Amino acid sequence: RMRPNSTMNHDKKITKSNITQYMLENHNELGYDAREIKFYSKTYSWCTIALKLIEFSNKKCICDNQKLFIDNIIHNIYSVRLCNEYLLKDFKLININKKIIYDYLTHNNQVLLGATDHIKNQLCYKLGNQIVKSTSLVKIFLLPYRLLLILINHKIEKKILKIMSKKDPKYKTLSLNSYTDHMVALEVKNHLSYKIGQVLIRDCKNWYKGGIFKLPYSMYKAYKDYKGRKKIFEKIRYRENNFDEEYFLSEHVRIFKYKPNFKNPQTFNEKIIHRILYDNNPLYTILADKIKSRIFIKMILDNNYNSEVLFDKIDNLNNAIFKTNDCKYLPKIYAIYNNIDEIDFSVLPNSFVLKTNHDWNGVVVVENKKKFLQDFKRKRKSLEKLRCHLKQNFYYVSREKHYKNIEPRIFAEEYIKDKIDLKDFRFHVFNHNVKFIQVANSTHTCNNLYYPNWEVFPVLYHNQRDIREIEKPQQLDDALRIARILSFNFDYIRIDMYLVKSKIYIGELTFTPNCGKAKIEPSEWDLKLGQMWKSDVFKL
């Protein structure tokens, strides 16, 4: 077990007496220099852990959170002295494997050295953070020395990066806007550490104008401003979150006739509401977007997942969006519009569907373009429907947070038609296993449920059951395989598909079906389905 932050590494007395004998013997090439042995040991440990994790990540499909863990470890390698190219050259383990780590760094540059790390690595944040952490008399007494040390180390780091970036462009510091998560990271600039550091640097630069004497007041003012802003945002956040909790609590009592504990959910519906209230995975917002989800689906099916692309704005993703037309499991997308005035019917095919990407039921089906355009009343009503949906933020309708920040758009898509009734096959995937398939008719008034082997699933879900049993589709095995692949790293997801003739079309990905308001009969199945959904997230 590697322990890079063990007592030996953290001991402030860097002498031979606190370095173990085997370490001294193994590192005689360092001239028995205790300080160098300490740094070597720490870097050796971090490199070994990083290599093992990279090896693991290459064998298994890992989620973004796990990748960030790997990236954090590699970041620690760069934070110790021996990680520098100049100091690495004589050490066998690191020298042999540094290329693997550097290659990993290059291919994951925007995840590892993201915008948040970029800001936290700025001098003002480092200085401010040290001041904020100095809460005891001893720490306050040592503060000038520590600030000076941070300043010196920061200058050394900048020099090293400058030298390394001349040798290899990959070490160049990127501008903040070049990171995909730069908008999220801007919040770090509102941290107290950043504000205090800014004040310190500004007043020290203006020492000749009396900045040093103004410094205590400037810091106090920055602190008061920060507390004031924080109080306002906490009130807003409390009201919003509190309202959501109260709303779902009252709805649950109204529908299910009992008071739940959403922080310790047991049933399927409770776990859906837990996800709505407390699980803030940013991928939910991206994949609830019917346009961006196409890119995700193609990437996963092509085994070419890159999360960075998904966080970009829709307007910057035209190439990636229209490349999804190459995926045989997706309906063709013809155009994307910001508003109804941009819709150019002349370039659209004879039949198509107009949809909004950010909500539910924003759909206009056009089977015959000529008839649609000639029917002025229908055309006007259809466009007015799309306009109203485009203006609507679906979060304020359903209180599902992941719909709140989707960029609203209208898009034209291929019209899929079945001879009798276009059925929606909804694959409920729990921990990468399809547990049941929900088949909804085109009017969404009936739901028939089946096991993956197409035996009847003995549950009524949300709607009545159609007395006519649905014939087992010939593409079922392929659809089950696709559902498992698209379940990615989600502990639960519903994947909607249309199985028409011999083809499979993926409709959308759903994370919180029916807002946790679907009645399940017999009622004990609500608990049974909840037990199928296993996740550490529910252990708040």
Query: 520 lies in a domain?
Result: yes
Contact residues for 447 (Cβ-Cβ < 8 A; gap 6+): 438, 439, 440, 460, 461, 462, 463, 464, 465, 466
Query: 395 lies in a domain?
Result: yes
pLDDT of the chain along its 540 residues, tens only? 555 555 454 454 555 555 566 566 655 555 556 666 666 676 667 666 666 666 665 655 555 555 555 555 555 555 544 444 434 444 444 444 444 554 544 444 333 345 677 778 888 889 988 998 888 888 888 888 889 998 998 888 888 778 777 777 666 666 655 554 555 566 677 788 888 988 898 888 888 888 788 888 888 888 888 877 666 556 555 556 678 888 899 889 989 999 999 999 999 999 999 999 999 889 999 999 999 999 999 999 999 888 888 888 999 999 999 999 999 999 999 999 999 999 999 999 999 999 999 998 899 999 999 999 999 889 999 999 999 899 888 888 888 999 999 999 999 999 998 767 789 999 999 999 999 999 998 777 889 999 999 999 999 998 888 888 899 999 999 999 999 999 988 999 999 999 998 899 999 999 999 999 999 999 999 999 999 999 888 765
- Of 138, 160, 175, the residue at which a domain comes to its end is 175
CA–CA separation, 522 and 462 (whole Å): 12
Together in a domain, 434 and 402: no
Together in a domain, 156 and 37: yes
Together in a domain, 400 and 438: no
Together in a domain, 306 and 403: yes
Strand partners, 336: 411
Query: 224 lies in a domain?
Result: no
Query: 190 lies in a domain?
Result: no
Considering its fold, how many domains does the chain have in total?
3
Query: 425 lies in a domain?
Result: yes
> What angle do the packed helices 92-107 and 64-78 form, to 10 degrees?
130
Query: 193 lies in a domain?
Result: no
Together in a domain, 21 and 141: yes
**67-72: long-range contacts at Cβ-Cβ below 8 A with a sequence spacing of 24 or more?**
67/108, 67/111, 68/111, 70/104, 71/108, 71/111, 71/112
Together in a domain, 304 and 433: no
Contact residues for 339 (Cβ-Cβ < 8 A; gap 6+): 387, 390, 410
- In this structure, the number of other CB atoms found within 10 A of the CB of residue 2 comes to 13
Element (H, E) at 501: none
DSSP secondary structure string for all residues of 248-301: HHHHHHHHHSS---TTS--SHHHHHHHHHHH---HHHHHHHSTTHHHHHHHHHH
- Of 121, 140, 175, the residue at which a domain comes to its end is 175
Together in a domain, 405 and 507: no
Query: 378 lies in a domain?
Result: yes
Together in a domain, 69 and 152: yes
> What angle do the packed helices 268-278 and 524-532 form, to 10 degrees?
50
CA–CA separation, 235 and 490 (whole Å): 32
DSSP secondary structure string for all residues of 22-79: HHHHHTGGGTT-HHHHHHHHHHHHHHHHHHHHHHHHHHS---HHHHHHHHHHHHHHHT
Query: 231 lies in a domain?
Result: no
CA–CA separation, 60 and 69 (whole Å): 15
Q: Which domain holds residue 334?
A: 282-413
Together in a domain, 41 and 113: yes
Together in a domain, 455 and 375: no
- In this structure, the number of other CB atoms found within 10 A of the CB of residue 348 comes to 15
Together in a domain, 405 and 452: no
CA atoms within 13 A on the CB side of 467: 0
- Of 128, 143, 175, the residue at which a domain comes to its end is 175
Together in a domain, 55 and 108: yes
**Which residue matches tokens 């693991």?**
56
